[in-house]
A = this chain, B = another copy of it.
Amino acid sequence: MKPIKVAMLGCGTVGTEVARLLTDQADDFAARIGTPVELTGIAVRRPNKHREVPAELLTTDADSLVESDVDVVVEVIGGIEPVRSLLLKALRAGKSVVTANKALLAEHGPELYAAADASGADIYFEAAVAGAIPLLRPLRESLAGDRITRVMGIVNGTTNYILSAMSATGAGYAETLEEASRLGYAEADPTADVDGFDAASKAAILASLAFHTRVTAGDVHREGISAVTSADIAAARALGRTVKLLAICERVTDDEGVESVAARVHPAMIPNSHPLASVGGAFNAVFVEADAAGQLMFYGQGAGGAPTASAVLGDLVAVARNIVAGGRGPRESAYAELPVRPMGQASTRYHISLDVADRPGVLSQVAAVFAEHDVSIAVVRQEGRPVDASLVVVTHAASDAALRGTVDKIAGLPVVREVVSVMRVEGEES
């Protein structure tokens, strides 16, 4: 059997690990696939910057590498162009693709899947979400006989590190971000992480697979962590809760039995007893709920060179086995075509923390505003202090719109000195 020829696009921390492991464990790969894997070239921008891989593999001409006699293209560059064009070229030529590129898949997935379908090539992308954690294959294969209702998880390590650090030190957001950048936990330009773009891309991919429906990054309601204050963190702690940036994908059935899907990324308070509360630093964890399987959890390292390389190489073995056996991996499955519900219709629980005047009648005034907006109160906690008082309200599930109306009006009440914290609550029964 002739070897499987592989071209790699990019050679950063992930690519370097992929190249190293392909060499170090070449015998294992050959045995597991049934034929050797041969890395024939690596496209990079500056070949002299990559001394850890054999110089003769390096090229600056990605187009020619993709067009060369290779069976599989592994992409670890990231970003939209030129990657999109390169991968479309590969797929159209019947070359299978393994990619870790969440942004590309969340924006242009359907175009890539269609190209793969037309030529019979495979496209695998386990590394695009939650790094080393086997998550996409379980969603699209193991649970293919089940009906997934919800996916909720921590899928961005940088924001998880920042929120964990804010909680540990009591420091504010800006200060903690600066420290994270200094320590290498945040990129020089942290926008993609802290504003939730990265998590939103992952949510789009997860929702698409879970619900057999095309969901793009633009469909995902997105709030980052830059508005999270140390007061939010302190308020959460006072209630036995922790603030996490969550990606949540849900299947919803309305009163008339019409199904839709929704995907959102936002910070939320979860109880300290919830398994996601203790997921620290760069780790990721994702809960999946399905009708027959019930609740499942997947946990592991969400980023980093070696963990991401593990996912890339698992996919590489899969597409190589498919080439050897003459089969194909599962295609895009978007048959359900469920409508995507806008965030205004989403219903979540809220925590609101207020500084109020410490005098009789405050609670009844505040409660009246909630009632007026049809937002039902689940828990109230009031604590008097020498001059003013703290009033904490946790609501039952309410729409975003109703909650915003409530908070706006409460902020204007003369008895309310300050709206200290408003944050969604997840991970407990409503």
Q: A interface vs B, CB < 8 Å?
A: 17, 21, 25, 28-29, 31-32, 126, 132-134, 137-138, 141-147, 212, 275, 290-301, 306-307, 309-318, 321-322, 325-328, 330, 333, 335-336
Given B134, B300, B315, B330, which contacts A134 in the complex, CB threshold below 8 Å? B134
The reply to whether A29 and B137 contact each other, CB–CB distance below 8 Å, is: no
Q: A32-B144, A327-B322 are in contact. Are A293 and B312 (CB under 8 A)?
A: no
The reply to whether A301 and B295 contact each other, CB–CB distance below 8 Å, is: yes
Counting every copy of the chain, the complex holds 2
- Select from chain B the residue with minimum beta-carbon distance to A321: B330
Given B145, B300, B318, B336, which contacts A31 in the complex, CB threshold below 8 Å? B336
A31 to B338, CA, bound (A): 14
A309 to B291, CA, bound (A): 11
The reply to whether B336 and A132 contact each other, CB–CB distance below 8 Å, is: no
A145 to B307, CA, bound (A): 11
In the complex, chain B residues whose CB is within 8 Å of the CB of A147 = 25, 28
A-B pairs with the 6 shortest C-beta distances? A327-B327, A145-B313, A134-B142, A134-B138, A132-B293, A292-B310
The reply to whether A134 and B143 contact each other, CB–CB distance below 8 Å, is: yes
The reply to whether B335 and A310 contact each other, CB–CB distance below 8 Å, is: no
The reply to whether B326 and A31 contact each other, CB–CB distance below 8 Å, is: no
The reply to whether A314 and B143 contact each other, CB–CB distance below 8 Å, is: yes
- Please, could you name 9 A-B residue pairs with CB atoms under 8 Å apart, sorted by A? A25-B147, A31-B335, A32-B212, A126-B142, A133-B296, A138-B138, A142-B311, A145-B317, A325-B328
